[in-house]
Structure 1
Amino acid sequence: MVPDPAGRPPAAIPPPTEGGPVAPQTPAADVLVFRNGDTLQGRLLGITPDTEVRWSHPDAKRPLEFAPGNIVQIKLTGKPLPAAPSHALVRLTNGDELRGQIVSLDAEKLTLQTAYADVLTIQRPMLQTVLPQVGVAAALYRGPTDLTDWQRAQGDQSWMFRNGALYAAAGQSGMIGRDMKLKDRSRIDFDLAWRTHPYLQISIGGDNPENFFGNAYLLQLSGNSVQLQRGRGRGGFNNLGGVTSLDNLAARGKARISILVDKTKRTIAFLLDGAVVKQGPDPGDFAGQGGCVMFLSQGQGPMRISNLLVTEWDGEWNDSGTLTAKAEDLIRFNNNDKVSGQLKSISKGTITFVTAFATLEVPLERAAQIELASDRAERARRQAGDVRATFHEGGHVTLALEKLDETSLVGSSENFGKRTFSRAAFRELRLHIYDETAQPPKADEWGEF
């Protein structure tokens, strides 16, 4: 099923049907992952640290109770909180990332209004990076939650749904896709895992969900390399650049994939775990004028796609690696100008920034990135009972868990003190995060795959 390097179109695949034949599916459910790799579906009712994890299972008449020491990960389902039209992204010195509206900043603290914990007061020495304007439109797609609206070839059983993920079986090639209604600028993010080698083709921007190799862009992930091609329907494929090697990718077993599409600039980029590894400007007209995203498994080994999020994208890269603060704070503006000095305050949408030459009063909306001086930074100390809670939109927060029930999570951190979070904000909890023996096994949830 790999397109011929000479540009000849590949053999046709059978036309898809809406959802394909009905196959055994497991409705989306929370998932417990134990130290030994065992998993259990159901519903998380609550956690009392050091005492019990309470769990509901359809085959149990009463709630089940588990010792927290044997559980390393809990995957959560449920409807996420509505996304704000725009917000700031605040990165802390311990790697946590918090999103919200900046209310104010002074010499001691940053006040952040959030949808998931009301007002957070973050200690200024714990701040590393502030991205004041992170455009987030409503998600075009978030899932998978089932196979509804996904299309597969007639009779194709190569792709299955289970435990909130799409699974591609070994020994069978086949495609699955859907119209994601991609915009002029779109971002596609998902977790990809594999048992042997990653052999996956991704069609982006096609206008016909029945034609994988139509007028679209094709990303080919093959073992330890990736290639980007431009589809021309029956005219075959043009390579956009050569093959890019990915050192030791196959041995990793998993990666976070991001694809950034900008139709207006005729550009598509492929990111692996946040790093750009392939970027292809199209010298001609942009081929992917449609909104479809499709996946083709080549059958060399089982694969899993999960945590798939498709959103509109503001076209900004917000590369936090471009600035390194030391003795002074740094600001990068929207026009890429940079200035160093002291970030005095943020109040009522205005930054007060003191430089060696003048004191600047700048609208917050003009700042693309703020880096806080690292020589005055502090890092939250580890606490017994720390858990790592991952947000639906990405990023995580680390806190000492005090209580979790069906609606809320209560915990504390030196970053912001004791706070109550909405449980709906999170898609995953990691327990025993400082215990190397308590990491989820690489092969969790593969089952017969």
Structure 2
Amino acid sequence: MKTLSLFLLLAALVTPSIADEKMVIRFDNGDHFQGMLGGIDGESVLWKSNAIFGTQAFSLERVTDISLPPSNELELPEGNHVAVATLTNGDEVRGSLLNLTEKEIVILTSFAGELTFRRDMVAKLDIEDRPELFYVGPTGMDGWVQSDDGGWTYDAGALICEMGSSIGRDIGRHDKIKIAFDIAWKEGARFRLYTHADSDDPDEMQNGFELVCQSQYAYMRKRVTRNNRTESMTIGTTGGVREFQEREKARVEILHDLVNGRVRFILDGRIVADWREPAPIPDKMGGFIHFSADRSNDTRISRIRITSWDGTIEGEWREAPAGFLNIEEEPEDEDPKPEEENPDIVLRNGDRIEGTIAGIKDGKVRLDTSFKEFDIPVSRLRSFPLRTAEEAADPELCWEPIRRNGDVRAWFVDGGRITFQLTGLKDGALVGTSQTFGEAAFELDAFSRLEFNLYPRGYPKAGE
């Protein structure tokens, strides 16, 4: 009776906004079904599908993930900034920073209201400009142009390459842009990304950029038309990209400033290369983006997010000398660089202040420095230390959440994620509990995927 009551309670899980869309459930043996989520509890999942008879209950131990139809965009709450909280377990949540105390960090989100995180479980907190959203998806084939009919298909929030071909869309020309997407492949990465293209066919592109990723190498070429001739030049190359051979998926990020020519290439959060194009000509560039893939390695593109970028470069700019091939090598048992004993507060303009955050009220931060206390808008901040190096090394002051059997990892449309114990339903939203934030209710269409069975068997269940 207990399981049945939970199923009935969670049967309303599918909200009206996504009720007509398809979900995909995947199992540990590779099987998958399209359909709809009918209910879920700690041991079973109810699944409705035309591929099976009626509604079936499957053991949750065999489920790897459920893909959800992504919303067109993930709204941000009101405010003039975006706070990015990275938790000690790698989770990442975006919203507006409301308050910060010695024990708590409060962030306002669009999908769960106010979330109060334990400060000792937040690894870092960054403040970003509120970006302009150019594209989030995919949510279908609308707006995409293919070089070959049927070369790409859409399924469960992903563009899938069925043959060697390209697919693209017009996102408009923008001087500063951030392009991020997930890509999965088989037997080595082989794909190309065309940006700022002036044609809906990459083969006809006369002005634009081409990022080539294959084997263990990546390089970027620029095409530009001068005096009725199209010239092609390499503006950056790097070797030893181990992710292309050692993995079968990655999160790709490209930061590109057309005016000053700077390009940063990032894989799974690792800065792979910094490049600079000589003699930028931004006015010649177009507004198309294209993905091109080899038919033999089952390429899948998902969680695309294209936004404005404020031009801020995190950390050191590592541009190699002209003509030099960057080769990424594994460090040889080097001791990690020690953290600064008293790390500074960094402002948006690059200024650094030694001090602490005394409090936050009405969108303003009270800074306590050696010379005076004063207020500045939250949006003027870039980053600030949550603890000293000594505190970071103290296990009593910096905790990682306990891993529990039954944890669910939910991926946001914007690429972030949050891990919690799924406990029920409240007003059509997922309800979960976590050591990091207590209890919260999440709007289901904020997520693109739910992952189950995150850890090897043998981890304790919640309450044990």
From 118, 122, 126, give the equivalent of 2:117: 122
Task: Look up the match of 1:294.
Answer: 290
User: What secondary structure is seen at the aligned counterpart in 2 of 1:237?
Assistant: strand
Change (3 A) 1:78 1:228: closer
Task: Look up the match of 1:279.
Answer: 274
Moved more, 241-250 or 252-261: 241-250
Task: Look up the match of 2:6.
Answer: none
Task: Look up the match of 1:15.
Answer: none
Q: Which AA in structure 1 matches 2:183?
A: L
Contact 2:236 2:276 in 1 (8 A): no
From 185, 190, 193, give the equivalent of 1:199: 190
- Say if 2:251 is the partner of 1:256: yes
Contact 1:128 1:371 in 2 (8 A): no
Q: Which AA in structure 2 matches 1:435?
A: P
Task: Look up the match of 1:55.
Answer: 47
Q: Distance in 2 between matches of 1:428 and 1:222?
A: 28
Residue 58 of structure 1: how far off its partner (Å): 3.2
Q: Distance in 2 between matches of 1:261 and 1:392?
A: 22
From 6, 29, 39, give the equivalent of 1:36: 29
Contact 1:199 1:300 in 2 (8 A): no
User: What secondary structure is seen at the aligned counterpart in 2 of 1:145?
Assistant: coil
Map 1:102-251 to 2 at 5 A.
102-138=97-133, 140-153=134-147, 155-169=148-162, 172-212=163-203, 213-233=205-225, 234-247=229-242, 249-251=244-246
Cα deviations by residue, 1:371-420 (Å, 9 ceiling, x for unpaired):
21124322322234211111111221111110258931111111111111
User: What secondary structure is seen at the aligned counterpart in 1 of 2:379?
Assistant: helix
Change (3 A) 1:208 1:198: same
Cα deviations by residue, 1:106-163 (Å, 9 ceiling, x for unpaired):
222222222111111222222221113342323x22222332222223x544333333
* RMSD, aligned α-carbons: 3.0
- Say if 2:312 is the partner of 1:316: yes
Contact 2:303 2:414 in 1 (8 A): no
Task: Look up the match of 1:334.
Answer: 348
Change (3 A) 1:158 1:78: closer
Residue 231 of structure 1: how far off its partner (Å): 0.8
Q: Which AA in structure 2 matches 1:420?
A: A
Contact 1:97 1:395 in 2 (8 A): yes
Residue 259 of structure 1: how far off its partner (Å): 1.6
Q: Distance in 2 between matches of 1:70 and 1:176?
A: 34
Q: What stretches of structure 2 of length at least 5 have no aligned partner?
A: 1-19, 318-336, 460-464
From 377, 389, 394, give the equivalent of 2:398: 377
Contact 2:105 2:119 in 1 (8 A): yes
Residue 271 of structure 1: how far off its partner (Å): 1.6
Moved more, 96-105 or 311-320: 311-320
Map 1:357-396 to 2 at 5 A.
358-373=372-387, 374=392, 375=394, 376-396=397-417
User: What secondary structure is seen at the aligned counterpart in 1 of 2:384?
Assistant: strand
Cα deviations by residue, 1:401-444 (Å, 9 ceiling, x for unpaired):
10258931111111111111111211111112122799xxxxxx
Task: Look up the match of 1:22.
Answer: none
Residue 217 of structure 1: how far off its partner (Å): 0.6
- Say if 2:449 is the partner of 1:424: no
Q: Which AA in structure 2 matches 1:90?
A: A
Task: Look up the match of 1:76.
Answer: 68
Contact 1:156 1:174 in 2 (8 A): no
Q: Distance in 2 between matches of 1:245 and 1:188?
A: 22
Contact 2:76 2:95 in 1 (8 A): no
Residue 173 of structure 1: how far off its partner (Å): 3.1
Contact 1:388 1:396 in 2 (8 A): yes
Q: Which AA in structure 1 matches 2:409?
A: R
TM-score by length of 1: 0.82
TM-score by length of 2: 0.79
Contact 1:89 1:134 in 2 (8 A): no
Q: Which AA in structure 2 matches 1:401?
A: L
Q: Distance in 2 between matches of 1:222 and 1:210?
A: 21
Task: Look up the match of 2:333.
Answer: none
User: What secondary structure is seen at the aligned counterpart in 2 of 1:316?
Assistant: coil
Moved more, 359-368 or 102-111: 359-368
Residue 336 of structure 1: how far off its partner (Å): 2.2
Change (3 A) 1:235 1:245: farther
* Structure with the larger RCO, 1 or 2 (CA within 8 Å, 6+ apart): 1
Q: How many residues align?
A: 407
Q: Distance in 2 between matches of 1:350 and 1:123?
A: 21
Q: Distance in 1 between matches of 2:250 and 2:414?
A: 17
User: What secondary structure is seen at the aligned counterpart in 1 of 2:415?
Assistant: coil
Residue 308 of structure 1: how far off its partner (Å): 1.7
Change (3 A) 1:242 1:210: closer
Cα deviations by residue, 1:196-215 (Å, 9 ceiling, x for unpaired):
22222221101221343320
User: What secondary structure is seen at the aligned counterpart in 2 of 1:290?
Assistant: coil
Q: Distance in 2 between matches of 1:413 and 1:243?
A: 41
Q: Distance in 2 between matches of 1:320 and 1:416?
A: 33
Task: Look up the match of 1:445.
Answer: none
Contact 1:28 1:163 in 2 (8 A): no
Q: Which AA in structure 2 matches 1:161?
A: Y
Residue 369 of structure 1: how far off its partner (Å): 0.5
Q: What stretches of structure 1 of length at least 5 have no aligned partner?
A: 1-26, 439-449
Residue 311 of structure 1: how far off its partner (Å): 1.8
